[in-house]
């Protein structure tokens, strides 16, 4: 079957029920998208389907059809993805990194539909992405920074003095 991934058409030899995650990782060698729980509960496998965040571990490749798939390898080509990745670097969000492809995909989908999200918007959009290292505070700050171009309050957390 043919798949549109990161703006290019790929022909893959997959059974219809093969999860999109394994098509991306094993057939297309795009290994930035991670396997976490395998039950669509942790968010590590998040990719975009037409700009919306979906869990690729539970999505059969036959359900993708003509929809555009974007993975972490392609998200930096979008304006929102660039802003999110730059804020992630500026605030040193990542700890072990395993969850972070999924975090960036969910954050970019949020920023695309809600250009200036509130804390509540962020918490709602990111609640399905689990981070065992507990980077949630930096993730929230990085999304604010990507939205506004200015860091909001992280200084207080880092060194205990007012920003």
Q: Which residues bind ligand FES (CB under 6 A)?
A: 94-100, 131-133, 135
Q: How far apart are CA 19 and CA 119, in angstroms?
A: 33
| Min CB(25)–ligand FES separation in Å | 18
Distance of CA 22 to the CA centre of its chain: 17
**96 vs 137, which CB is nearer to ligand FES?**
96
**24 vs 126, which CB is nearer to ligand FES?**
126
Residue 65: CB atoms within 10 A of its CB come to: 11
**77 vs 132, which CB is nearer to ligand FES?**
132
| Min CB(14)–ligand FES separation in Å | 28
| Min CB(84)–ligand FES separation in Å | 15
| Min CB(44)–ligand FES separation in Å | 8
Contact 105, 46 (CB under 8 A): yes
Contact 96, 131 (CB under 8 A): no
How does DSSP classify residue 67? P
């Amino acid at each position: 079957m043919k798949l549109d991934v990161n703006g290019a058409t790929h022909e893959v030899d997959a059974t219809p029920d093969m999860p999109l995650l394994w098509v991306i990782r094993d057939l297309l060698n795009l290994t930035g998208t991670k396997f976490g729980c395998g039950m669509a509960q942790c968010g590590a496998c998040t990719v975009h389907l037409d700009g919306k965040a979906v869990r690729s571990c539970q999505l059969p490749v036959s359900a993708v059809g003509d929809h555009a798939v974007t993975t972490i390898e392609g998200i930096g080509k979008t304006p929102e993805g660039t802003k999110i990745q730059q804020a992630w670097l500026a605030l040193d969000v990542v700890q072990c990194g395993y969850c972070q492809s999924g975090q960036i995909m969910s954050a970019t989908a949020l920023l695309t539909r809600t250009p200036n999200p509130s804390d509540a918007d962020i918490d709602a959009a990111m609640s399905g992405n689990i981070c065992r290292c507990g980077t949630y505070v930096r993730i929230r700050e990085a999304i604010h920074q990507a939205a506004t171009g200015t860091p909001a309050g992280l200084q207080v957390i880092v060194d205990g003095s007012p920003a």
